Structure 1
Amino acid sequence: MQPRPSAVRLLVPGNIRHNSGGNVYNAALARGLSQLGVRVDVEPVEGTWPVGNTEERRRLAGLLVRGTGNGDAVTIVDGLIASGAPDALEAAVEGGQRPWILLHMPLIDHPELEIRALRAAAGVICTSGSAAADITRRHGAARVHVALPGTEKAEPAVGSNPPHLLSVAALLPNKDQMLLLGALAQVQDLPWTAALVGSDEADPDYAREVRGALGEYGLEGRVRLAGELRGSALEEQWHAADLSLLVSRVEAFGMAVTESLAHGVPVVVRSGTGAVEALNLGAVDLAAQEGGGSRLPGAAVVLDTDPAPLAAVLRGWLSGPELQAQWRQAALAGRDRLPGWDATARQVLEIIGGPAPGPGHSSERRADGQ
């Protein structure tokens, strides 16, 4: 085991400015490490990541070769930057530096770049078991570790009448809000309201498509496009929620799922994605009860392009008070099973160095002085 580092240099993508799961994880990890007494330097790296252009990769190589200037410090690079720029990591190794990769999601479109980057790194810290399993299956990668996202403590939601449905995700094709709206259009005969909370600037063309679908389905009075919300405005939405949905086509983990469970709000996710792993963190163990097994605080639904299966699940939940109560009870019971961000920071520190100490002074700072 390597000596515990006194400092961590965290390189994060400068081109992802919306409230993504990766950005939330990176910021929370920096705070958590800082509270353990480790100095954290957060350096946003501008570029058209992943992959970037030749000049952006050359600049990244320079940053990595320069290192931290501190003998026992460790550099961690967000996988969105590192996975598509193996030449920069290889240059760092030649220069005597070997950074770690913090992998939020595998780089499916460029496996030939990803495998080189993973091999050049000191090791890979995956933010979900599904991501770790994927890169191990595809690349046979060694030195792969997992540090699951934590959650912030939250007050249980009180819900609404009629039920309020919530989807927290940037308006992006992968998040598949179009499928969600198609499903909601099929249950308009039942009472409910809904809000889509997430940036409409990450993909303006898709956001326009979503707005157009609201009009096409006649959902303008039922579904609110709230944009990206933070702080108390986001908490108000969680406070009013009865059910949340994350139906992404691809999801390494889905931090919106654990955020929902932290508020005691059950979740519907797409089967076959990493969001199922997040949902299972809140599963209630029924092994000691008749029948055994576990009870999910929501459901994982097999979905393709047809919204009908999702609509059927929503109809069953909206018209079934017993199912609503069961999912709600499971979500409330699962709140205490969720790890905190302190656990995430300790896990990362143990991966890159020695055992984590007790909480200490805060020492986080950004490279830009903020």
Structure 2
Amino acid sequence: MNVVHVVLPGDIDDPATPSGGNAYDRRVCRGLAALGWTVREHPVPGGWPHPGAAERAALAGVLAALPDDALVLLDGLVACCVPEVLTAYARRRRLVVLVHLPLDGEAEAGALAAATRVVATSGWTRRWLLDRYPLPPDRVSVAAPGVAAAPLAAGTPAGTRLLCVAAVTPLKGQDVLAAALARVADLDWTCDCVGALSRDPAFVDRLRRQLADASLAERVRLSGPRVGAALDAAYGGADLLVLPSRRETYGMVVTEALARGLPVLGSDTCGLPETLGYAPDGSRPGLLVPPGDPEALADALRRWLTRPRLRARLRHAARRRRDTLTDWTVTADRVAATLEEATAA
């Protein structure tokens, strides 16, 4: 029986700090188990990707306790900042690093060089890694996130219910969204921002002041994190997903929205256009605007809110794109194939 040891961030199952990376890791662990793998999890608490000495030592202790030739799948949030730890065990362990969001630096270069194989979670990420680091292309594979089937969102005729699902941080761009919403305050809409409020409290405070100064505090709700049925309800009650990220290597919330037939207004950055994709007839199931540009985002919002034909076209495309999405079994199969390659290497 195949055995894989999976090194995970310590908050993997913390409902207060949900993330796409944690959701991906949990789905992959379950998927590997369903394929017959013995999955042994090793959560490592700490401030990853900025660990202290004790956290580095704890990770080294996990790897040291494993048998020689053990197959180890490491979340890149943990692995890519500690090349010295990975290098120390690279000859006696088969290390596979799962890269969700590249860290871009010498530490990451060293960590990936020590790995037997690398799994990227999007085609964009794989291309970025190969452009940035001297990695053999045959050692870097892609296992894009899947998505669970979901019922179609009902939607409202006027499309006024906006939804943003992301941890409230500068990277996710809620400040850009607030500036854009201030420019369309003359229109009818509400916006529900769902996501952790604890990752950057200073940014959250600035965002609250920004919303108050623009008299939007009653129309934009910072709802905090939601998981399970509560998150399903948020999608089900929305008309449009808005994801104004400054950088997004994949954007799992995009396919979660598309699985419900929701169009997406997102940033034209990194891997997000690839994730949005196209309906079978070649139409986009949403709109893309330059990242960090409140005026462009406001213009797209105004078009969505004032043009019924545009809303109808994007909704139709989103429902057609829904039929092309793959589920998590495909993701697990691709990760399993890479693990088998690492075992044979």
Correspondence 1:187-336 to 2 at 5 A:
187-280=184-277, 283-286=278-281, 294-304=282-292, 306-336=293-323
Contact 1:15-1:49 within 8 A present in 2 as well:
no
Superposition CA RMSD, Å:
1.6
- Identify which of structures 1 and 2 has the higher relative contact order when contacts are C-alpha pairs closer than 8 Å and 6+ apart: 1
AA aligned to 2:7 is L
**2:343 equivalent to 1:348:** no
Give the match for residue 168 of structure 1. Answer: 165
> Quick one: distance in 1 between partners of 2:156 and 2:200?
31
Q: Following TM superposition, by how much is the alpha carbon of 1:134 offset from its aligned partner in structure 2, in angstroms? A: 0.9
Equivalent pairs, count: 335
- TM-score, normalised with respect to structure 2: 0.93
Q: Following TM superposition, by how much is the alpha carbon of 1:97 offset from its aligned partner in structure 2, in angstroms? A: 1.1
Q: Which moved more, 1:20-29 or 1:40-49?
A: 40-49
> Quick one: distance in 2 between partners of 1:253 and 1:184?
24
Q: Following TM superposition, by how much is the alpha carbon of 1:237 offset from its aligned partner in structure 2, in angstroms? A: 1.2
- SS, match of residue 200 in structure 1: coil
AA aligned to 1:154 is A
Structure 1 stretches of 5 or more lacking a match? 287-293, 355-370
> Quick one: distance in 2 between partners of 1:93 and 1:196?
42
> Quick one: distance in 1 between partners of 2:274 and 2:4?
28
Q: Following TM superposition, by how much is the alpha carbon of 1:161 offset from its aligned partner in structure 2, in angstroms? A: 5.6
Q: Deviations over 1:8-47 (max 9, x none)?
A: 2111111574111100000011111111121212211022
Contact 2:147-2:255 within 8 A present in 1 as well:
yes
> Quick one: distance in 2 between partners of 1:303 and 1:36?
39
**2:8 equivalent to 1:9:** no
Q: Following TM superposition, by how much is the alpha carbon of 1:238 offset from its aligned partner in structure 2, in angstroms? A: 0.8
> Quick one: distance in 1 between partners of 2:29 and 2:222?
31
**2:141 equivalent to 1:154:** no
Contact 1:98-1:120 within 8 A present in 2 as well:
no
Determine which of 114, 118, 122 is the counterpart of 2:108. Answer: 114
Q: Following TM superposition, by how much is the alpha carbon of 1:51 offset from its aligned partner in structure 2, in angstroms? A: 4.3
**2:133 equivalent to 1:134:** no
> Quick one: distance in 2 between partners of 1:348 and 1:327?
33
Q: Following TM superposition, by how much is the alpha carbon of 1:116 offset from its aligned partner in structure 2, in angstroms? A: 0.9
- SS, match of residue 40 in structure 1: strand
Q: Following TM superposition, by how much is the alpha carbon of 1:74 offset from its aligned partner in structure 2, in angstroms? A: 2.1
Q: Which moved more, 1:38-47 or 1:251-260?
A: 38-47
> Quick one: distance in 1 between partners of 2:185 and 2:300?
14
- TM-score, normalised with respect to structure 1: 0.87
- SS, match of residue 284 in structure 1: coil
Q: Following TM superposition, by how much is the alpha carbon of 1:352 offset from its aligned partner in structure 2, in angstroms? A: 1.3
Contact 2:42-2:62 within 8 A present in 1 as well:
no
> Quick one: distance in 1 between partners of 2:211 and 2:313?
31
Q: Deviations over 1:56-101 (max 9, x none)?
A: 223312312322x486x5210000111110111111124x113110
Name the CA shift for 1:194/1:297 in 2 (closer, same or farther; >3 Å): same
Deviant stretches of 4+, over 6 Å: none
Q: Following TM superposition, by how much is the alpha carbon of 1:202 offset from its aligned partner in structure 2, in angstroms? A: 1.4
Determine which of 88, 94, 97 is the counterpart of 2:93. Answer: 97
> Quick one: distance in 2 between partners of 1:132 and 1:224?
36
> Quick one: distance in 1 between partners of 2:149 and 2:327?
8
Contact 1:89-1:98 within 8 A present in 2 as well:
no
> Quick one: distance in 1 between partners of 2:6 and 2:156?
41
**2:26 equivalent to 1:30:** no
> Quick one: distance in 2 between partners of 1:64 and 1:320?
57
- SS, match of residue 171 in structure 1: coil
Contact 1:86-1:120 within 8 A present in 2 as well:
yes
Name the CA shift for 1:51/1:213 in 2 (closer, same or farther; >3 Å): closer
Identity of aligned residues (%): 40
Q: Following TM superposition, by how much is the alpha carbon of 1:274 offset from its aligned partner in structure 2, in angstroms? A: 1.5
Give the match for residue 47 of structure 2. Answer: 48
Q: Following TM superposition, by how much is the alpha carbon of 1:268 offset from its aligned partner in structure 2, in angstroms? A: 1.1
